């Protein structure tokens, strides 16, 4: 059995009847849409999606910063006034 990463789930059949009402009823909670009792996809509202995208972007930037900090010995000193 696959894990379901949402507290709110609905069958594909029920979802197809009125997807807008499912999203409205869910509020900010993610919805697992199930096909044969297995997650087919997850649905979130735009605010949650934007938050997830921002979090992923922040993680990418953190990794870049860590890689650059690990190479401090190759850094070039620059005067801020010259930038």
Give the pLDDT confidence of 10-47 residue by residue, as tens digits: 999 999 999 999 999 999 999 999 999 999 999 999 99
What pLDDT is recorded for position 63?
96
pLDDT classification of 83: cutoffs 50, 70, 90: confident
Query: What's domain 8-72's superfamily in CATH?
Result: YefM-like domain (3.40.1620.10)
Domain extents for the chain?
A: 8-72
Contacts with 48 (C-beta within 8 Å, 6 or more apart), sequence order = 28, 30
Distance CA 53, CA 43 (A): 14
Q: What is the pTM of this model?
A: 0.71
What pLDDT is recorded for position 10?
98
* Among 31, 29, 35, 32, residue whose Cα is nearest residue 12: 35
């Amino acid at each position: 059995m696959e894990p379901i990463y949402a507290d709110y789930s609905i069958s594909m059949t029920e979802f197809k009847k009125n997807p807008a009402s499912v999203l409205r009823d869910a509020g900010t909670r993610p919805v697992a849409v199930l096909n044969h009792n297995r997650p087919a996809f997850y649905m979130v509202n735009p605010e949650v999606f934007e938050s997830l995208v921002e979090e992923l972007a922040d993680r990418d930037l953190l990794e870049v910063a860590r890689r650059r900090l690990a190479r401090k010995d190759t850094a070039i000193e620059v005067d801020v006034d010259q930038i």
